[in-house]
Amino acid sequence: MRRIGLCIAFLFLAWLLTGVTQIHPGERAVVRRFGAVVATPGPGLWVGFPWGVERVDRVPVDMVRRVTVGFSPNSTDTAIVPPGQMLTGDQNLVEIQAVIDYSVEGDQVDQYLNHRERVDGLVARSVEAALSEWIAGQPIDEVLLTAKATLPQWLPNRINARLEPYQIGVTVLAASISHLQPPDRVKPAFDEVTSAQAAIRTREEDARREADRKRREAAAEKFRLEQQAIAYRHEAIAKAEADAAGFAKRMEQYHRLRVSDPDILTAIWWDEMGKVLLRLKDAGRIDLLDSRLGPDGLDIITTPPRPKK
């Protein structure tokens, strides 16, 4: 009888210990008591009622789950319209495959557990609906050229909005486009169009670079001319100021000497005329008259001005 009692005590103790659960870091637990959720504790030791009264399910909330949706290049599906083959806004077909990363919301683990078997399917259907919505609103060129850059930014928010009414406790973290091209039977024509568009973009880029180069050269020439004009202005002002100072000095000399020398104005006139004649000579407008002297004096009184060199 004693052994039976010990065995019963041991079994009772083991049954009580089933109420102790270790919740690891990165996990959240859902505690159900007689089927009703009573707690969703985080990492640590949970001590509750034993098995049969309470049930504890642990869910990794830090783990990123992945769903691949759409066209598969290696698929053997013989359906008339393969998965992931969608119609663009201008009635062209494209084949697209998206990869979606999602995780469980820590405060909604009970909702996730209620729909755990359906989550991947609901996420996949929401992704297909969002892809169809975006592609149907774009022409084929826009889809092929921008989808890989635009959809990864647009899809997460759109998918989360579609999943919210289902209350399945997950959030889409990121999206990427792993496959995007027209069907094989029309791919050569699209490749030619893509090549032509690339050549156009190359020529446009060359034209932009050439325009930038010419703008830089024009700006440099403008700066040079402005600096030249500023230098000429300063030089002209300095020369005018020097001429004005020289004239004022000569005027002061004339007023001072005209009392004692009545011919001072004539002397000043001839002095200035000598300077003028020298400038004319340097410019080739006049020449010396020595070559015009003869036995009877000057052969001519004046000579026509020479062409300016």
pTM of the model: 0.56
* Closest-CA residue to 98 (of 46, 39, 159, 141): 159
Across 115-141, average pLDDT = 91
For residue 69, what pLDDT is reported? 92
Band of the pLDDT at 115, cuts 50, 70, 90?
Answer: confident
Task: Judge whether residue 270 has pLDDT over 70.
Answer: yes
Q: What is the mean pLDDT of residues 21-47?
A: 74
State residue 99's pLDDT score. Answer: 94
Nearest one of 76, 75, 118 to 97, comparing CA atoms: 75
Domain ranges of the chain: 2-60, 65-184, 186-257, 260-309
Task: Residue 180: name the closest of 141, 234, 154 by CA.
Answer: 141
**Is 236 a residue whose pLDDT tops 70?**
yes
**Mean confidence (pLDDT) of the chain:** 81
Q: Quote the tokens at residue 147.
A: 């989808």
**pLDDT winner (highest mean) among 35-39, 56-60, 87-91, 260-264:** 87-91
Give pLDDT tens digits for 5-18. Answer: 777 766 666 665 66
Q: Assign domain 65-184 to its CATH superfamily.
A: Band 7 domain (3.30.479.30)
Question: Which pLDDT does position 159 carry in this prediction?
Answer: 94
Give the mean model confidence (pLDDT) for residues 168-172: 92
Residue 130 confidence (pLDDT) above 90: yes
Rounded Cα distance, 158 and 142, in Å: 19
| Among candidate residues 15, 49, 44, the one with its CA nearest the CA of residue 31 | 49
Strand-pair partners of 36: 33
